[in-house]
Amino acid sequence: MIRTTSGIALAGVLVLGVAAAPQDARAESPPRLASHEATYDMQLSSSRSGSGVVGASGTMHYSFTDTCDGYAVNTRTLLSISYGVGSPVMTAWEFSTWESRDGSQYRFKVRNSRNGTLVETIDGRAAMPADGSAGSVTFVQPTEHSLDLPGDTLFPTEHTLLLLAEAQKGTKFINRAVFDGSGDRGPYEVSALIGVQKPAAAPRVGPEKASAGAKDERISTDLLTGPAWPMTMAFFPQEGQDPMPEFQVGLAYHTNGVADSVHQDFGDFSITGTMTDLKPLPKPEC
């Protein structure tokens, strides 16, 4: 399964650490996330001996929308995975969420199909009180049940905003509990390594750009003009004891929350997504 939580190469849980930051970095304005749609070409980048995976390719379509009262995220990933024996397995993973602007409410739904057959549905909602006390999540599918969430749990968009804000300050390591609803269990401990700030990217366009002066460039460079920070996040199930993460996600976040590439490592194999399409979505009239 391909995941993008907040979003997406650490061997163990890291504790919060703050490095010295220049004064002008501390004065940065709070990050503002841009509504956008992006498509990534997904390809197998590595496969460990014994994994059985010999090939993987497909696409991931991602949209992030400001809804005035919150943020809506929709991800659809289509992958063809080859195991060397038999026909490739076609997988489709759809993940839709809505998170309130204050980070107190969260709704989520997952649909996972294999070779055209629905094999998993996860549906529910979660809430975190503003006073910092324990929250809760209620699952409707696959079975009706509820779980408590630790008081410091973040939802994905709030976690992304935290990472960007801390990156601007010069923070290098941060560890937080994050609940995304991608599975029917509690939150992950997410350990993030934040790299050195990269300057604004040079203008670029996607493949198959039309002739000069055309208005249909496949990649909107206006969304990639700000600086970016490479980040690597390791995801550990809170109830687990394994010192190795369940999976890891690497990406470069721009100040507006746009990631121009993503790398996902599942232990036995890893997949890299390269951006092929990017466009802004209309700003809401709040």
Q: pLDDT digits over 18-63, tens only?
A: 222 333 333 456 788 999 999 999 999 998 888 889 999 999 999 9
If you write DSSP's letter for every residue of 26-53 in order, what string do you get?
Answer: HTPPPP-PPPEEEEEEEEEEEE-TTS--
Q: Once rounded to an integer, what is the mean pLDDT over residues 225-247? A: 90
pLDDT greater at residue 206 or residue 166: 166
Place 202 in a pLDDT band, splitting at 50, 70 and 90.
Answer: low
Per-residue pLDDT tens over the stretch 102-117: 999 999 999 999 999 9
Predicted confidence at residue 239, as pLDDT, reads 78
Q: Once rounded to an integer, what is the mean pLDDT over residues 250-265? A: 94
Give Rg (Cα) of the chain.
19
pTM of the model: 0.84
Q: What is the dihedral of CA 229, 232, 236, 242, to 10 degrees?
A: -150
Cα–Cα distance list, 200 to 170, 226, 229, 263 (Å): 17, 5, 10, 20
Predicted confidence at residue 1, as pLDDT, reads 40
Q: Once rounded to an integer, what is the mean pLDDT over residues 120-143? A: 95
Predicted confidence at residue 205, as pLDDT, reads 47
Name the residue with tokens 């408590």: 148
